[in-house]
Amino acid sequence: KELFEDALQKIHSEYMDGKKLTYRQLVYSALKGAVGKLDPHSEFLDADSFQELQDDTEGQFGGVGLVVGMKDGQVTVIAPMDDTPGSRAGILSGDRIVKVAGKSVDRLPLPDVVKQLRGEPGSTVSLTIERPLTGALKTFTLMRAIIQMEMVKDINGRKEFPLDENKIGYVRITQFGEKTSDELETGLQKLKGQGMKALIIDLRGNGGGLLDRSEEHTSELQSPCN
């Protein structure tokens, strides 16, 4: 403990930019380093990161409704979510986000860009997109809304859950969160009601989530066709 406190004191007092660092920043950095040494699945979360995790697992947050990812090193819209500010404004899959709030997002990590897009429902954010097909730039000012994430979907990305001609059902679980259990139960009941004989469970791209929820879903899926 004394070694740790002494090191923090020396960094703060003797490092050339030490005065720009708070003790909180130094302690958080040290904790992130320590926890990061445990295994690839362990991470120290500060207050903002913890809130983002809660938003994701609860399936509800303030934002503009754009699913984004990195493509060729650029922040790209994978898909606008239905009936959200992003989709209503006319933003399309493949559009590249070049600015948020008037500032370039070039070279910013994807989580930092996502953090800028999210915010209190009712607040506004501007983003500039480039449409690759035309090269045109367009700036949108969007009012953030409460975004509801769907964690269980059918083969068409919807909530209809049709069977194929062989009575085989399909569910895609995108994440294990607070709403996943109820959504999965609803989907299974729809499939069973149509006489489902077999079930495909798609977990591709599932980023994980709450351990207790994943264990709960395992028990739900033991005998889905009875």
Prediction pTM value: 0.57
Give buried/exposed letters for 50-80 (b at 16+ CB in 10 A, else e): eebeebbbebbbbbbbbebeeeeeebbbebb
Nearest in space to 60 (alpha carbons), one of 146, 172, 184: 146
Measured CA distances, 218 to 23, 37, 155, 178 (Å): 44, 30, 20, 15
Q: What is the mean pLDDT of residues 65-86?
A: 89
* Predicted pLDDT of residue 77: 93
User: Tell me: the pLDDT tens digits for 26-68?
Assistant: 887 888 788 777 876 677 767 666 566 555 555 568 899 998 8
* Predicted pLDDT of residue 140: 96
User: Tell me: the pLDDT tens digits for 193-224?
Assistant: 999 999 999 988 665 655 555 555 555 555 55
User: Tell me: the pLDDT tens digits for 144-161?
Assistant: 999 887 788 899 888 999
